[in-house]
Amino acid sequence: MIVYKRGVTSRDPFTARPRDLAFTGLRWEEAVAVPIGNVILDSQSMRIDRTASESGGRRDVREDMKTRAAERTVMIPDIAMPAIRRLADRGAPGRASSDGRLHGRLINGDRGGYLGYATWRKYLRFAQGYTAAALDGIVSYTAHELRHVCASLLIASGASDIQVAHQMGAQQDRDDQEHLRAPVRPGPHVDSGCHEPGG
């Protein structure tokens, strides 16, 4: 469970992007590709229909999802709405001044383009610093483990296996269900500089 230290609110600048993953279950390459037009705040939902992965410094934007289950509409829980609204509002001036050429996604890079993986890791380290620390130091977690947080919260709230699988974009077979139900065990990770699996 991701627990934020006392005094940290949804307005803290470096926690919104990790919260996006922790409470919606998106893969990193899905989260950074969501067009702002796919985010429907009134219905607390967003359409996932593309990915923007990164390898060797090159961006690979794909609108053909790997599986039919991956293309889906995910729900945004109440706890995530302040962060989602702030991300949407933050990009509004840039979209207006560039006629929509920049800041066209829910999550954007510093200059209005795609958020790079190195920058994402910077935000993740800041978020880890805000997270309640264990006795032996700051709790370390990856984007993939944030998906497990979402699955655990859904299961704890009484969601069915089908509902969990849909939110996570997983095929509804036995292996996927066992994968989603695996507990989150944060711990030390080797920073290889490589893009972790979106899982």
10, part of any domain: no
Is residue 7 domain-resident? no
DSSP line for 68-114? TTTSEEEE--GGGHHHHHHHHHHHHHHHHHTTTSSS-BSS--TTSSP
Domain total for the chain?
1
Q: Are 146 and 21 in contact (CB under 8 A)?
A: yes
* 137: confidence class by pLDDT, cuts 50, 70, 90: confident
Report the distance separating Cα 50 and Cα 66, nearest Å: 10
Q: What is the mean pLDDT of residues 163-167?
A: 93
Are 151 and 164 within 8 A, CB to CB? yes
Residue 140 sits in a domain whose CATH number is 1.10.443.10
Percent of the chain with pLDDT over 70: 76
Question: Does residue 54 fall inside a structural domain?
Answer: yes
Q: What is the pLDDT of residue 134?
A: 66
Poorest-confidence range of 7-11, 62-66, 130-134?
A: 7-11
Q: Which residue segment(s) compose the domain that 174 sits in?
A: 16-180
Count of C-beta atoms within a 10 Å radius of residue 4: 15
The answer to whether position 196 is within a domain reads no
Mean pLDDT of 113-132: 83
Three-state DSSP class for 194?
coil
Residue 3 counted as domain residue: no
HEC sequence for 9-73:
CCCCCCCHHHHHHHHHCCCHHHHCCCEHHHEECCCCEEEECCEEEEECCEEEEECCCCCCCCCEE
Report the distance separating Cα 141 and Cα 146, nearest Å: 7
Q: Would you tell me how many other CB atoms lie within 10 Å of the CB of residue 128?
A: 19
**Residue 99 maps to a domain:** yes
* φ and ψ of 136, to 5 deg: -100, 15
Question: How far separated are the first and last CA of the chain, in Å rounded?
Answer: 19
pLDDT of 151 over the 80 cut: yes
Give pLDDT, residue 3. 43
Is residue 11 a part of any domain in this protein? Answer: no
pLDDT, one tens digit per residue, over 72-94 is 999 999 989 998 999 999 999 99
**Is residue 169 in some structural domain?**
yes
